[in-house]
Amino acid sequence: MQLNGSQIFVEVLCEQGVETIFGYPGGAVLNLYDELYKNADRITHVLTAHEQGAAHAADGYARATGRTGVVLATSGPGATNLVTGIATAYMDSVPMVAFTGNVVTSGLGKDSFQEAYIEGITMPITKHNFTVRRVEDLADTMRAAFRIAQSGRKGPVLVDIPKDVTAAVCEFTSKKPEPIRTVTTFNAEQVKWAADLINAAQRPLVYFGGGVRSAASCQPLRDLIHKAEIPATYTLMAAGVVPYGDPMNIGMVGMHGCYTSNRAVADCDVLIAVGTRFSDRVALNPKTFAKNATIIQIDIDPSELGKNVDVDLSITGDAAYVLNAMLPQIEEKKHPDWMAMIREWQAQDYHPVSDPTRLMPHQVIGEVCNQCGPEAVYVTDVGQHQMWAAQYLRHAKSRGFITSGGLGTMGFGYGAAIGAQMALGRDQRVVMFTGDGSFHMNLNEACTAVSYELPIITVIFNNQVLGMVRQWQTAFYGKRFSQTDPHRKTDFVKLAEGFGLKGYRCTNLPEFQAAFADALKQKGPTWIECMIDKDEKVLPMIPGGGDINDIIMK
């Protein structure tokens, strides 16, 4: 069958099972958009306000479902606007394929209008990228992009398509998508050693990360911690993998993790690290992290094994396969003394105290949980509110807590929420937490949520300042608040109205309860601005380079 490049583009997307893409049109992708117009019944295209929002939306779509997110942008500025979104996905190993148009092949390298060498720009922030110079290569290149994005450790792939390639014609034959290449192999002997270490442990601790987000690895992880009574702590990327109410779940670890988890890391005798990379926000001091423990690390990517912290036993493999092989070798066990210590630390842990004179973050988040129930999906931006959400959300399911961990991208939230809502449908409750700082970065995407009638509820923690940076300035820079107190006069309620959505402002808990209850009834998006104190802090906190001995609890 003779097809042109644009027709091939649509055919391969359909072949790969893509139903929704996010993007923004422009000169170099006019042919592609013309074909999308003709195929609107096969592929839903979501138009965002800015390409960055589209990239975050594709990312949010992928995080919410595990499927590959797809974003399309034009050449030059369209392509460069994707960069932050691609880097965000790369740092958190999110499967995504970004398509960019480019100028015609004869104009490449000549500083043509809206030309950018996006292949070069995105080399260090993609798993791989391609420029398609011949229409004959287009279909297989796109197929390779989808394969690479989903295989092994997942991540973003970029495909750059010059405009003439989208018009040129060649023979096209449809192919079934290749099965996803999972890593099924591992060293069985090492798994046995790991099981022996765990069986002999007096004070074992599981520390898991984003690598166990997939449904296949959640269950064996939960089985492991229950079978051998092993307390489990997690990184920001893995919130929700083990339910919050689970007695073995002792909370988040790291810079803003709880005292109990950080203390348990310091005191455990065997640490089982699963799908996590000992990042500098967790292993704040790689020399003293879990220094009393024999460390076992399980990761799909061998380059992560022992990269940041020296480990004693490393197992290369997919957590699901490794844990399933390990489980039968794990003895059913109880660790009463260890658990008693954990419970004691939990009693001493940081617990926020409500103050009747002001609205506090934990109250707001607690109320959201009360009204939304366990099935809601939570999305955050980056900053204090992100940490509060991670600390105080009482329930989130796996893939139900969507946040930018590795790159820490302020402005991630709204786009990601749009992606999650599009992926899961309008009946799914999606709540976005943001701060006034992060929200100012990309709140333009509100127009997208209005256009597509997405009932995203945005909870804005407005402390009038850039709170996280201000908190550091308070603690370490003698309260010299350099550029963190912008005196913005934004009226979020009026601004909401301007976008065509409903806005609320709350200064106390009853107001928030009423506003949130009303927001739940709305068909379209809503904003709830929560006025909080500018000196509200994220606690506990361990400063960078520190350990449990440096923890700040008040």
Please give the Cα distance from 488 to 122 (Å, whole number). Answer: 34
Nearer to another protein, 48 or 84 (CB): 84
Q: Supply angle C-alpha 145, 146, 151, rounded to 5.
A: 100
**For another protein, which residue of 285, 314, 391, 404 counts as binding (CB under 8 A)?**
314
Q: How far is the CB of 296 from another protein (least distance, A)?
A: 8
Binding mask 210-249 for another protein (x = CB under 8 A): ----------------------------------------
Nearer to another protein, 141 or 214 (CB): 141
Q: What is the DSSP letter of 180?
A: P
* Sequential DSSP letters for 311-325: -SEEEES-HHHHHHH
- Asked whether the CA dihedral 350, 355, 358, 363 is positive or negative, the reply is positive
CB distance 411 to 51 below 8 Å: no
Please give the Cα distance from 110 to 103 (Å, whole number). Answer: 10
Please give the Cα distance from 436 to 468 (Å, whole number). Answer: 12
Nearer to another protein, 200 or 340 (CB): 200
114 is catalytic: yes
**For another protein, which residue of 17, 37, 123, 246 counts as binding (CB under 8 A)?**
123
Q: Does 315 bind another protein (CB under 8 A)?
A: yes
167 exposed, middle or buried (CB, 10 Å; 0-12, 13-18, 19+)?
Answer: middle
Task: Restricting to residues 266-305, name those near another protein by CB under 8 A.
Answer: 269-270, 294, 301-303, 305
Binding mask 178-207 for another protein (x = CB under 8 A): ---------x--x--x--xx--x-------
**For another protein, which residue of 15, 19, 119, 136 counts as binding (CB under 8 A)?**
119
Q: How far is the CB of 241 from another protein (least distance, A)?
A: 24
Q: Does 533 bind another protein (CB under 8 A)?
A: no
Residue of 248, 422, 468, 541 marked active site: 468
Please give the Cα distance from 307 to 352 (Å, whole number). Answer: 36
**For another protein, which residue of 45, 50, 56, 127 counts as binding (CB under 8 A)?**
127
Question: Judging by DSSP bridges, how do beta strands 232-234 and 430-435 pair with one another?
Answer: unpaired
Task: Restricting to residues 419-478, name those near another protein by CB under 8 A.
Answer: none
Please give the Cα distance from 235 to 277 (Å, whole number). Answer: 10
Please give the Cα distance from 388 to 396 (Å, whole number). Answer: 14
Q: Does 307 bind another protein (CB under 8 A)?
A: yes
**For another protein, which residue of 49, 103, 142, 148 counts as binding (CB under 8 A)?**
148
Please give the Cα distance from 217 to 23 (Å, whole number). Answer: 32
Question: Exposure pattern of 420-457 as b/e (b: 16+ CB <10 Å)?
Answer: bbbbbeeebbbbbbbbbbbbbbbbbbbbbbeebebbbb
Nearer to another protein, 174 or 303 (CB): 303
Please give the Cα distance from 269 to 497 (Å, whole number). Answer: 56
163 is catalytic: yes
Q: Does 311 bind another protein (CB under 8 A)?
A: yes
Nearer to another protein, 199 or 371 (CB): 199
Nearer to another protein, 312 or 533 (CB): 312
Task: Restricting to residues 13-52, name those near another protein by CB under 8 A.
Answer: none
Q: Which stretch binds another protein (CB under 8 A): 74-82, 118-126, 355-363, 373-381?
A: 118-126
Q: How far is the CB of 201 from another protein (least distance, A)?
A: 8
Question: Judging by DSSP bridges, how do beta strands 2-4 and 169-171 pair with one another?
Answer: antiparallel
Q: How far is the CB of 270 from another protein (least distance, A)?
A: 8
- Would you state the structure tokens that stand for residue 127, as one six-digit string? 């798993």
Q: Provide the phi-psi class of 526: left if phi over 0, else alpha when psi is between -120 and 50, else beta.
A: beta
Q: What is the DSSP letter of 269?
A: S
**For another protein, which residue of 124, 179, 336, 356 counts as binding (CB under 8 A)?**
124
Residue of 113, 202, 291, 375 marked active site: 113
Please give the Cα distance from 390 to 365 (Å, whole number). Answer: 10
Q: Does 316 bind another protein (CB under 8 A)?
A: yes
- Would you state the structure tokens that stand for residue 153, as one six-digit string? 């450790």
Residue of 11, 35, 51, 529 marked active site: 51
Q: How far is the CB of 128 from another protein (least distance, A)?
A: 4
150 is catalytic: no
Residue of 163, 289, 386, 516 marked active site: 163
SS3 content of the chain, % helix, strand, coil (to 5): 40, 15, 40
Q: At 478, give phi and psi (nearest 5°).
A: 55, 35
237 is catalytic: no
Please give the Cα distance from 41 to 490 (Å, whole number). Answer: 40
| Cβ count near 164 (within 10 Å) | 17
Q: Does 159 bind another protein (CB under 8 A)?
A: no
Q: How far is the CB of 160 from another protein (least distance, A)?
A: 11
CB distance 340 to 346 below 8 Å: no
Q: How far is the CB of 124 from another protein (least distance, A)?
A: 5
Q: How far is the CB of 305 from another protein (least distance, A)?
A: 5
113 is catalytic: yes
Please report, as ranges, the residues that interact with another protein according to CB under 8 A. Answer: 119-120, 123-124, 127-128, 148, 187, 190, 193, 196-197, 200, 269-270, 294, 301-303, 305-307, 310-316
Which residues have a catalytic role annotated?
51, 113-114, 163, 468
